[in-house]
């Protein structure tokens, strides 16, 4: 947790320092960005030109609970010396500093963060009493669907034993699409399943190939009901049309929400991955960023075949955060106005937090 938070905070600073355009640079006073509740965190603000030189400017700022509850707002004058502001939290959370300046009629932003007792942050996600029963029933429905694995072999690059474009049957007549890459040799080898970030597009075989070249039985899948090699213009039309808001589609029922199909599609892909004779039968990593990171948490808690996970900036977490004056992860599933309360009732069944509670890597 500490390494992850430090990496996030350092990334904010590094991205500003190497930008090609003017940036507002926001740096907290502790290198690791970690604080204890009640400590003062001081942020240094500067406006840097494209060459990284400090500029005279008025910089506006806000301090918030990671973009939700606001604690302070104002302006500071910056130049050769940075402007400094300080803040604190009396409860575990992340104090976010958002700063901006007007440059040639354009608003330029910068961000910084200070994590206060982050290992004590509690999720807002409620835990449904029948969570396990619901997902056991969904997996049982999937198990009744023959896999109908359709593999198209493709030329494998150096270091890859075999490469296949894959299509697999999912529930309700849908399918799962992706790439399967096998390492050279007969194994046994560990496996890795990688999930895509949010969006509507196909996918190349590069990710699956890269893992196979490192000695893994590997799959990389997309989460939509179309071929991974769908032309870009067709994917763009879907993105502008029927999949424009896929992340909220059907969210008034746990049986129709789009991510029901997505999660079950991930299980089906693992079915194929673990059926490969090269797999060592023990080591299976799930990984991805954003949406893919959230799905990694979901599958780690849902599927006992998963032995490890690496989730980068995971989405799909704490859907109920905004209702309790806390940030919610993408896709901010519950709208501000949910008069029937139906989406609020559905959201916990698809909250990566509730899946993650069930992952016990130490047992493996």
User: Model confidence over 121-159: pLDDT tens digits?
Assistant: 998 888 999 999 999 999 999 999 999 999 999 999 999
- Per-residue pLDDT band for 19 (boundaries 50, 70, 90) equals very low
HEC sequence for 238-261: HHHCCCCCHHHCCCCCCCCCHHHH
Mean pLDDT score of the chain: 91
- Cis peptide bond N-terminal to 158, omega within 30: no
Sheet of 106-116: strand order equals: 34-35, 106-116, 93-103, 57-65, 70-78
Phi, psi of 72 (to 5 degrees): -155, 155
pLDDT at 169 over 70: yes
- Cis peptide bond N-terminal to 288, omega within 30: no
Q: What does R_g of the chain's alpha carbons equal in angstroms? A: 23
The domain segmentation of the chain, as residue ranges, is 2-120, 131-363
pLDDT at 8 over 50: no
User: Under DSSP, is residue 56 helix (H, G, I), strand (E, B) or coil?
Assistant: coil
Q: What is the mean pLDDT of residues 221-242?
A: 94
- pLDDT for 336 equals 73
pLDDT at 364 over 60: no
- Per-residue pLDDT band for 337 (boundaries 50, 70, 90) equals confident
What is the Cα–Cα distance from 62 to 362, expressed in whole angstroms?
A: 41
- Per-residue pLDDT band for 26 (boundaries 50, 70, 90) equals very high
Give the range among 17-26, 125-134, 237-246, 317-326 with minimum mean pLDDT. Answer: 17-26
Q: Where are the alpha helices (DSSP H) in the chain?
A: 2-17, 131-143, 206-213, 232-240, 258-273, 291-302, 342-346, 352-356
Q: Do residues 91 and 77 make contact, with C-beta atoms less than 8 angstroms apart?
A: no
What digits encode the pLDDT tens for the residues 244-282? Answer: 999 999 999 999 999 999 999 999 999 999 999 999 999
Q: Considering only the top CATH level, what class is 131-363?
A: alpha beta
Q: Do residues 284 and 192 make contact, with C-beta atoms less than 8 angstroms apart?
A: yes
- Residue 117 makes CB contacts below 8 A (sequence gap 6+) with 35, 36, 37, 92
Q: What is the mean pLDDT of residues 208-230?
A: 96
What is the Cα–Cα distance from 155 to 94, expressed in whole angstroms?
A: 48
pTM (predicted TM-score): 0.84
pLDDT at 11 over 80: no
- Per-residue pLDDT band for 357 (boundaries 50, 70, 90) equals very high
What is the Cα–Cα distance from 248 to 259, expressed in whole angstroms?
A: 9
Report the percent of the chain where pLDDT is more than 90.
83
What is the CATH code for 2-120?
2.60.40.1930
- Per-residue pLDDT band for 42 (boundaries 50, 70, 90) equals very high
- Residue 323 makes CB contacts below 8 A (sequence gap 6+) with 124, 334, 344
- Per-residue pLDDT band for 362 (boundaries 50, 70, 90) equals low
Q: What is the mean pLDDT of residues 46-56?
A: 92
- pLDDT for 322 equals 85
State how far the alpha carbon of 160 is from the alpha carbons of 192, 205, 221, in Å: 14, 11, 18
What is the Cα–Cα distance from 310 to 296, expressed in whole angstroms?
A: 7
Q: What is the mean pLDDT of residues 194-213?
A: 95
What is the Cα–Cα distance from 356 to 302, expressed in whole angstroms?
A: 8
* Residue closest to 261 by CA, chosen among 289, 290, 297, 224: 224
pLDDT at 363 over 90: no
* Residue closest to 356 by CA, chosen among 318, 330, 305: 318
- pLDDT for 4 equals 38
* Residue closest to 48 by CA, chosen among 23, 26, 28, 27: 23
- Per-residue pLDDT band for 164 (boundaries 50, 70, 90) equals very high
What is the Cα–Cα distance from 171 to 148, expressed in whole angstroms?
A: 12
CA 44 to centroid of chain Cα atoms:
29
pLDDT at 10 over 70: no
- pLDDT for 20 equals 61
Q: What is the mean pLDDT of residues 27-47?
A: 96
pLDDT at 9 over 80: no
What is the Cα–Cα distance from 351 to 207, expressed in whole angstroms?
A: 26
Q: Do residues 151 and 164 make contact, with C-beta atoms less than 8 angstroms apart?
A: yes
Phi, psi of 107 (to 5 degrees): -85, 130
């Amino acid at each position: 947790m500490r390494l992850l938070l430090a990496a996030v905070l350092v990334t904010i600073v590094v991205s500003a320092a190497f930008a090609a355009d003017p940036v507002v640079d926001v740096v907290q006073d502790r290198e690791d960005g970690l604080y204890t509740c009640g400590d003062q965190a001081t942020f240094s603000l500067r406006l840097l030109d494209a060459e990284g030189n400090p500029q005279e400017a008025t910089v506006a700022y806000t301090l918030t609970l990671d973009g939700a509850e606001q604690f302070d707002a104002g302006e500071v004058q910056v130049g050769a010396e940075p402007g400094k502001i300080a803040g604190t939290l009396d409860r575990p959370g992340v104090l976010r500093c958002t700063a901006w300046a007007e440059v040639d009629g354009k608003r330029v932003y910068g961000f910084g963060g200070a994590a206060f007792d982050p290992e004590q942050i509690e999720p807002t996600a409620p835990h449904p009493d029948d969570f396990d029963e619901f997902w056991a029933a969904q997996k049982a429905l999937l198990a009744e669907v023959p896999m109908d694995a359709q593999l198209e072999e493709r030329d494998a690059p150096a270091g890859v034993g075999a490469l296949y474009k894959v299509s697999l049957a999912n529930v309700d007549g849908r399918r799962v699409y992706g790439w399967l890459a096998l390492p050279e040799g007969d194994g046994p080898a560990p496996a890795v399943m990688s999930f895509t970030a949010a969006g509507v597009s196909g996918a190349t075989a590069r990710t699956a190939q890269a893992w196979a070249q490192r000695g893994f039985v590997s799959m990389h899948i997309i989460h939509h009901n179309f071929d991974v090699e769908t032309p870009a213009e067709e994917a763009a039309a879907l993105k502008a049309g029927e999949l424009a808001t896929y992340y909220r589609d059907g969210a008034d029922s746990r049986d129709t929400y789009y991510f029901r199909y997505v999660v079950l599609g991930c299980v089906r892909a693992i079915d194929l991955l673990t059926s490969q004779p090269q797999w060592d039968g023990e080591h299976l990593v799930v990984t991805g960023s954003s949406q893919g990171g959230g799905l990694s948490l979901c599958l780690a808690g849902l599927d006992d075949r998963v032995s490890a996970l690496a989730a980068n900036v995971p989405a799909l977490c704490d859907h109920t955060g905004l209702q309790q004056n806390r940030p919610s992860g993408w896709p901010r599933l519950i709208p501000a106005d949910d008069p029937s309360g139906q989406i609020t009732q559905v959201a916990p069944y698809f909250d990566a937090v509730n899946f993650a509670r069930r992952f016990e890597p130490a047992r493996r």
